[in-house]
């Protein structure tokens, strides 16, 4: 998108900081009753009365978390919001507001930033979340997005990471590994493009996994689904760094162990076929891939009947006493200790 | 600080992302009753019951907002928090929590980041604010700090930018222009150092203004002072971009005009003498300098007796009907239209 030299380009210098904020936020709608004052003062004013307020924040940096050579800016804006809402949903809560700060170098014209905000606005609309503040500034290099998400929940609904008990069932929403395999496809196409810029990639067979990478959908639906099912999760976390890493977080903070069954891990057929094509082990991809933004949670054994067979939920294991450790039980019935293979942003490639 | 080659250095790669967060936040105290769960889960959990929740966010970027060649990291951490708390205080509210996200390149050893967090922790301690979350990631270039500040206030105490009425008095806290002149001194010393690295700068005569630049103190005290005086401000804003720019914000959002009296603008003697030395007009510095993090507010005429003579407060003008415009009344009794000379972060030098 940035490469199209024919399009209208408005330079950020001409517009200035205040002009940019006004331009980007002039039609910001308000969906939430709890938003009393959004953009336009020193601070937003919110009101949650008897509900608890949830706050979470994430930073996305060009060259570290995303590569603009294959990520459209509108998708990036959408995903940046999802990454943050996912943290609120992972408390079994409702997301209500976000603030968005961006730092952007002068190489981006206004139209590019408008694309980014179009994605942010779409995410807000779809998840009924209000954009209530932010900061816009110049950067010496690339693009950076910092989002803080705010949510609400009644006290008894909140699911911490620390509440899992031995014998609780371990449950994951949706399917996993797709976002990582989508990234492999995009990285490969980037290399092909470098060698032959005229090559038109056919991403059609990979559309599901590419969308999982570029436009993940945070699980807003799970809190209400569990409410309808009459299930209160004992612990919950979202899958940003990979299943294995998140399971170990739950185990550590709940002081329990875990048995995870390899054959229960939900994989989409496209993930399996892409793994074959890339010669990757699909279990390793599911355990270490990350960025799926599904939810991982535990429920008491007594809730088994309420969740079994639900197409949104897969029971993938159960919790144990802490001294039993955390293990993967393979298809061949071997017991392997789980290790965190989560993405380490300080590790050099 | 970064230049000391003898100190112990721990590389960020060795520590990893989770290790870094744990290391930085292991002794985070909680001061506020409203903090139910701080760092350590997908989101922090807060509770404000009948009070409104205030949210504000700011981004500080190396090379744009600060220059590490003369800003010690501990001061930077302190200032980054102040910049954000100031936005909450500018709603006539109490700051209660912050989240801090940092992006940092591998050129910073752990000890440097610990210095930064020591400044953040000191600011939190002094202002009784809880650090309840954040994100830590690598950056491809320099250092970046994104802070979201959260606060509380009862509804009737909140001062928006939009409540000023014609004839209201315009009041500023403390004195202004100091932060800008402190920056001039530091920039000059940096140039001197480039020419002669052995030159030891004598900053003693400039200590007040250098501190105003490096370690500003957000006005936590003003909300309670006004409460004690029995004064409810009709509008309020903080001075980050310069007096002139902030006055124009108040006027625009309240739909009023303003007469600002040059001889009433509070200037510290050090600011006046530094202006003489740098051949700068002290009124221009006060109007356009910025970064003082004082509060600017309006009160009804009837409150004049309650605030006059208070050493923390200077009455610098009064609001008018919108069609009268916004003017500076000079010492020579000339009426000059006020223009925003606020800092424009997209303008090239």
Distance CA B4, CA A341 (A): 35
pLDDT surpasses 90 at A139: no
Q: What is the 3-state secondary structure (H, E, C) of A209-257?
A: HHHHHHCCCCCCHHHHHHHHHCCCCCEEEECCCCHHHHHHHHHHHHCEE
Mean pLDDT of the B303-322 span: 97
Size of interface A-B (CB pairs under 8 A): 217
Mean pLDDT of the A141-149 span: 92
Q: At what angle do helices B178-195 and B269-277 cross, to 10 degrees?
A: 40
Distance CA A271, CA A258 (A): 25
- With residues binned 3-state (H G I as helix, E B as strand, rest as coil), the percentages for chain B, rounded to 5, are 40, 25, 40
Give tens-digit pLDDT for A265-315: 999 999 999 999 999 999 999 999 999 999 999 999 999 999 999 999 999
Best interface-test mutation with A: which of B38, B42, B62, B109 has the largest number of A CBs within 10 A? B42
- A80 within 8 A of A143, measured Cβ to Cβ: no
**Helix (H) or strand (E) segment spanning residue A259:** strand A256-261
Q: Which two tokens stand for residue A284?
A: 């390793």
ipTM metric: 0.88
Beta strand segments in chain B, E:
35-37, 44-46, 52-61, 94-104, 130-138, 144-153, 169-173, 235-238, 256-261, 295-299, 313-321, 326-329, 335-337
pLDDT of residue A344: 39
Q: At what angle do helices A110-127 and A12-25 cross, to 10 degrees?
A: 10
pLDDT of residue A4: 41
pLDDT surpasses 50 at A119: yes
Phi, psi (5° rounding) for residue A41? Answer: -130, -170
Distance CA B187, CA B193 (A): 10
Q: Do B140 and A141 touch (CB under 8 A)?
A: yes
Compare B336 and A200 and report the one with higher pLDDT.
B336
Phi, psi (5° rounding) for residue A97? Answer: -140, 160
Distance CA B282, CA B279 (A): 9
Best interface-test mutation with B: which of A19, A42, A85, A344 has the largest number of B CBs within 10 A? A42
pLDDT of residue B343: 38
Q: Which residues of A touch B46 (CB under 8 A)?
A: 52-55
Q: CA triplet A120, A126, A127: central angle to 5 degrees?
A: 90
In chain A, residues 141-160 whose CB comes closer than 8 Å to chain B: 141-142, 144, 146, 148-151, 158, 160
pLDDT of residue A121: 95
What is the model's pTM?
0.91
pLDDT surpasses 50 at B4: no
Q: Do B42 and A87 touch (CB under 8 A)?
A: yes
CA distance between the termini of chain B: 28
Mean pLDDT of the A164-193 span: 95
Give all domains of chain A, ordered by start, each with its CATH number: 12-156 (3.30.1330.10), 169-337 (3.90.650.10)
Task: Please name which of A339, A337, A304 lies closest in space to residue A318, comparing C-alpha atoms.
Answer: A304
Q: Do B57 and A135 touch (CB under 8 A)?
A: yes
Q: Do B146 and A101 touch (CB under 8 A)?
A: yes
Distance CA B101, CA B21 (A): 10
- B275 within 8 A of B284, measured Cβ to Cβ: no
Residue spans of alpha helices (H) in B51-109: 73-89
Cβ-proximal residues to B316 (8 Å cutoff; 6+ apart), any chain: B170, B171, B172, B260, B261, B264, B265, B266
Give tens-digit pLDDT for B122-175: 999 999 999 999 988 888 778 999 999 999 999 999 999 999 999 999 999 999
Q: List, in sequence order, every residue forming a beta bridge with A238; answer none if it has no partner.
A: A295
Mean pLDDT of the A213-228 span: 96
Distance CA A60, CA A145 (A): 5
Flag the least confident range among A67-71, A155-159, A238-242, B279-283. A67-71
pLDDT surpasses 70 at A239: yes
pLDDT of residue B16: 64
């Amino acid at each position: 998108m940035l490469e199209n030299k024919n399009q209208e380009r408005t330079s950020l210098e001409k517009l200035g900081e205040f002009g940019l904020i006004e331009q980007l936020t002039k039609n910001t709608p308000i969906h939430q009753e709890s938003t009393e004052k959004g953009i336009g003062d020193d601070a937003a004013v919110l009101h949650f009365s008897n509900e608890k307020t949830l706050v979470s924040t994430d930073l996305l940096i060009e060259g570290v978390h995303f590569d603009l050579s294959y990520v459209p800016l509108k998708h990036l804006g959408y995903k940046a919001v999802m990454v943050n809402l996912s943290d609120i949903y992972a408390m079994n809560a409702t997301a209500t507001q976000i603030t968005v700060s961006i730092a952007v170098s002068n190489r981006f014209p206004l139209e590019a930033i408008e694309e980014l905000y179009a994605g942010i606005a779409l995410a807000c609309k779809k998840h009924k979340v209000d954009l209530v503040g932010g900061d816009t500034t110049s950067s010496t290099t690339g693009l950076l997005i910092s989002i803080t998400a705010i949510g609400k929940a009644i006290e008894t609904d909140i699911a911490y990471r620390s509440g899992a008990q031995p014998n609780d069932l371990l449950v994951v929403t949706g399917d996993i590994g797709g976002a990582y395999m989508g990234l492999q496809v995009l990285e490969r196409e980037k290399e092909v493009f470098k060698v032959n810029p005229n090559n038109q990639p056919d991403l059609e067979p990979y559309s599901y996994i590419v969308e999982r990478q570029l436009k993940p959908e945070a699980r807003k639906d799970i809190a209400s689904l569990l409410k309808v099912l009459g299930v209160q999760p004992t612990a919950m976390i979202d899958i940003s760094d990979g299943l294995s890493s998140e399971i170990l977080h739950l185990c550590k903070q709940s002081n329990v162990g875990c048995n995870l069954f390899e054959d229960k891990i939900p994989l989409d057929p496209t993930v399996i076929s892409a793994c074959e094509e890339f010669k990757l082990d699909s279990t390793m991809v599911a355990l270490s891939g990350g960025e799926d933004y599904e939810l991982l949670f535990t429920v008491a054994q007594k809730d088994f009947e309420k969740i079994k067979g639900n197409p949104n939920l897969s029971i993938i294991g159960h919790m144990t006493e802490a001294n039993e450790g955390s293990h993967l039980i393979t298809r061949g019935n071997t017991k392997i200790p789980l290790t965190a293979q989560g993405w380490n942003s300080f590790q050099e490639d």
